[in-house]
Structure 1
Amino acid sequence: MDFFIRDLNHTEADGLIYPLFQDDSEENICGCVKSQVDKLKKAGKFKGEAGELFYTVKEVEDGFQYTLLLGLGKKEALSSETIRLAYAKALKKVKELKLNNVLVKMFESNEVCIKRRVKAIYEGMILANYKFDKYLSEKKESSIKEVFIKGIKEEDKVKAEEALGEAKVLASAVIEARELVNEPANFLDPKELAKRAKNIGKEYGFQVEVHEKDKIEELGMHSFMEVAKGSSRDPRLIVMRYFGDEANKEDILGLVGKGLTYDSGGYSIKPTDGMVTMKSDMGGAAAVIGAMASIAKMKLKINVVAVVAACENMISGKAYKPGDIISSMAGKTIEVLNTDAEGRLTLIDAVHYAIEKEKASKVVDVATLTGAVLVALGNTTTGVVTNNNDFYKELEKASELSGEKVWQLPAFDEYKKLIKSDIADLKNIGGRNAGTITAGLFIGEFVQNKPWLHLDIAGTAWSESEKEYLSKGGTGAGVRILYYLAKEKSCKESCNK
């Protein structure tokens, strides 16, 4: 599906998507739909509420022509996310009607600038058009081929084109992440994940270095290797680098993604239902790979290093066991109480590596880490644990721009006591209570007081059903918020609304 900024007549396309606010005055409504809108509003069939849709059709010489009225809610409540969600719904209706091309009429807003409007429309429609059908023998091709955005003021067209270019890069990076998460584990093992990271690096413009088992052991990544050794498929340490600010080489943002390409739970084995979607346990890795792709392609003025400790958590005679005491790259010892709390064991070595070897000055780790975060926040919000409130405020700004919701969880010292062991420095679970918090704080023990954010995307990285612009399966959660976190650090937006 291609997007263009071009002023065409309604008659030159199969359909027109016409946006309307609840509080639109009559003079702001174009004559081509005014009579329809008046009648619908009087009949109570269309109010202009956010995401509301109504379409009409008329016969023309060579077929039919559709007009889709799209509600955007109240003007003062408009946000980028409102736009994304509304236009995602419109795209699904366009596909249902089997239209080949549509016009999207631009609207005015004092709340959301032209760049963010264009980006949100594109992201909503492109991401809603995604479907993972790689392994279907009969694929259903989407009917929609072209989308034209019309009605942009002449003085805004350069900004709009720039925004469209950025949106294309960002949506493409999200789709790369979705593709990785959706791949079954028999096709995407640690070796294949490393290969794909290299290919994405070549395409988008960042460096990728891959370390194999011998090097991982040489580095002393004991905790990572304990998780990995139960599988017949060897682990990989994937290191991605992008240096866009050579003048400030000491300022490096470290991104660390959980890379469990499959998690059986180990000897603390999961039930079958819990294992079916465990190909998605590398959602954090997919997020940082996608973020690196977008950051590099947009040539942001920032230095970023991303690290993924990729492995499988399996059962064998070599696998680690509940009751074991293991070491870590940082030298701290850990009492293993549950082998299904494995992600944090791989992450601590990856975080330590990012700080010690790659000299990261700030760290963000992203992981499908705990079922507890779903209990606390459901599927809509990513839980966050941090040691730095200023850093969290930067994440909140990125959340506002990306539409990815976050919520800060407490990190009081009382919670840290729950992961102290009597026979080792730490234990890998803190008990039933506060599971998301103690899992995050376990990783926090290895950040060396660097500004740090832990994002638990266990609830947001996977969707059991199709929702607006989220397809069923991998969602690509984390890509856009990490991109905007990096962008906000690298420069001030020319449009902050």
Structure 2
Amino acid sequence: MIFQSKNIKSYNNEAQTKFITYFEDSQLDKGLALDKGLPLDKEIHSKIKFMLDSEDFDCKNGQLQIINLFRNESPRNVILVGVGKKEDFTLDRLRKNIAKAVKEAAKSKSKSIDINIENLVSLMNLDEIVRTISEAAVMADYKFDQYKSDKKASTLEEFNILYAQEDHLENISKGINEGVILGQANILTRTLVNEPANILGPIELAEAAKKAGVESGFQVEIFDEVAIKKLNMLAFLEVAKASVKPPRLIVMRYQGNPGSKEEIVGLVGKGLTYDSGGLSIKPTTGMVTMKSDMGGAAAVIGAMTAITKLKAKVNVIGVVASCENMIGGNSYRPGDIIGSMGGKTIEVINTDAEGRLTLVDAVNYIIEKEHATKVVDIATLTGAVISALGTTATGVVANNDFFFTRLEQASKICDEKVWRLPAFDEYKELIKSDVADLKNSGGRNAGSITAGLFIGEFVKDKPWLHLDIAGTSWAEKNSDYESKGGTGAGARLLYHLIKQLEK
């Protein structure tokens, strides 16, 4: 879909579908005024008036009214989009409502859409409004159907954002660019998560990162199993060794602030392309979606594309330790004591607590070898976080208040909700081992917290955030700008976190 900005004065109702946003306190004349300079014909005018007079459409948040005009000239359809009361207006409310309208336009096989933003400009920054509309349209017009024999391509080709004032053009162009790139980053993340494990293994994930690096402009280096062994990434290799698919360490580098080379933000994503649970095997129902256990890795790759394309003024390194957790005669076992790149010994309590083993070596690598000064790890780590927070919010463990505050600010921009979990010293007692330095599971109590704190034992006092996206990275049904399957959680959030760190 091509996004364009067009001046109302030179625009002639060219799009097949017109979106008109209405606030709950708006009247008919206000609705028409937003198309000042782009008059609506009598047929549209009378139908909108009928809808409002009959109270079939009362402009409440989330309400859509589709008006089919059954004619050849444009517009052929008008979609009235209710956004509720002005005092309750938020960017995410706009994002969700535009996404719903885009899906309705796609159902009618529309090729082009237009929306006049003039009635929204007074409520928030123009570039934020346009960014939100653009990313919503990109994310809504997505489906994972490449393996279906009857797949149908989207008909949507053009999205026009209309404006009246010439001095708005620069901010509109900026908003479109940022919104489209963020939407595409989300889509890339979703697609990687949705790919089945027989198609996307560690080698293929590494190739996907390489491709993203070439297209976006960041550097990618891939370490094979021999190089990983030389790095002494012992915990990572223990998880990987039972699979016939060899592991890969993926390192992505972007230098956005060369004048301050010593400041580097490290993004570490969990990259389990399939997780059977190992010898602590999962039930069949629990394995069906385990192709998604690399959601953190996908989010880091997606974020790196946006960070690079939008030229964030921060140095960023992304690292993914990618492998499969499978079963074989050489599987690591509950009761084993294994090593780690950081030198700590680990008692294996549960082979299905494998993600944290790969992550601690990746975190140690990014600090020791890439010299990261701040670290974020993002992972589909625990079922416990779903019990605690459901699928609404990402659980966060942090050791630095300032860093977490920046994450909170980022989450409000993209509306990927986060919730900080406590990290009291008492919880650390649960991961102490009688026979090794640590154990990889603290049991059922506070499972999300102890999993995060296990990783925290390897961050060497660097400012650190642990994001558990087990609940937010996967959707069981379609909704507004999300689709069933991978949600792309984390990609936009990490980008906005990096932008917060520019300040």
Give the structure-2-normalised TM-score. 0.95
Determine which of 103, 110, 114 is the counterpart of 1:103: 114
Matched with 2:37 is: none
Q: Deviations over 1:234-276 (max 9, x none)?
A: 1011111001111111100000000001000000000111111
Matched with 2:2 is: 2
Q: Structure 2 CA distance, aligned partners of 1:63 and 1:194? A: 46
**1:36 offset after TM fit, Å?**
4.7
**1:138 offset after TM fit, Å?**
2.2
What amino acid sits opposite 2:495 in the alignment? Y
Matched with 1:13 is: 15
Matches within 5 A, 1:127-142: 127-142=139-154
The answer to whether the 8 Å contact 2:15/2:74 transfers is no
Is there any run of 5+ residues in structure 1 with no aligned partner, and where?
492-497
Matched with 1:363 is: 375
The answer to whether the 8 Å contact 1:283/1:461 transfers is yes
Q: Deviations over 1:90-145 (max 9, x none)?
A: 01111112222121121324442111111111111110111111212221121222
What amino acid sits opposite 1:3 in the alignment? F
Determine which of 159, 165, 176 is the counterpart of 1:147: 159
Q: Deviations over 1:40-79 (max 9, x none)?
A: 3443322212221012222435587211110111112222
The answer to whether the 8 Å contact 2:248/2:322 transfers is yes
Point out the more displaced range, 435-444 or 95-104. 95-104
The answer to whether the 8 Å contact 1:57/1:64 transfers is no
Q: Structure 2 CA distance, aligned partners of 1:11 and 1:351? A: 54
Point out the more displaced range, 312-321 or 2-11. 2-11
Q: Structure 1 CA distance, aligned partners of 2:271 and 2:290? A: 11
Matched with 1:175 is: 187
Q: Structure 1 CA distance, aligned partners of 2:71 and 2:196? A: 47
The answer to whether the 8 Å contact 2:14/2:75 transfers is no
**1:199 offset after TM fit, Å?**
1.1
1:177/1:61 CA distance change after superposition, 3 Å: closer
Determine which of 20, 25, 34 is the counterpart of 1:23: 25
- 1:353 aligned to 2:355? no
- 1:448 aligned to 2:460? yes
Alignment coverage as a number of residue pairs: 491
**1:39 offset after TM fit, Å?**
4.2
Q: Deviations over 1:166-203 (max 9, x none)?
A: 11221112111111111111111111111111111011
SS of 1:12's partner is coil
Matches within 5 A, 1:60-139: 60-61=71-72, 65-106=76-117, 107-139=119-151
**1:361 offset after TM fit, Å?**
0.3
Matches within 5 A, 1:20-59: 20-25=22-27, 27-30=29-32, 32=40, 36-37=47-48, 39-59=50-70
Matched with 2:495 is: 483
The answer to whether the 8 Å contact 2:336/2:348 transfers is yes
Q: Structure 2 CA distance, aligned partners of 1:136 and 1:373? A: 33
Is there any run of 5+ residues in structure 2 with no aligned partner, and where?
34-39
Point out the more displaced range, 256-265 or 370-379. 370-379
SS of 1:376's partner is helix
1:61/1:141 CA distance change after superposition, 3 Å: closer
SS of 2:60's partner is coil
Q: Structure 1 CA distance, aligned partners of 2:194 and 2:494? A: 20
Q: Percent identity?
A: 53
Q: Structure 2 CA distance, aligned partners of 1:3 and 1:315? A: 48
What amino acid sits opposite 2:344 in the alignment? K
- 1:408 aligned to 2:410? no
Point out the more displaced range, 110-119 or 253-262. 110-119
Matches within 5 A, 1:377-392: 377-392=389-404
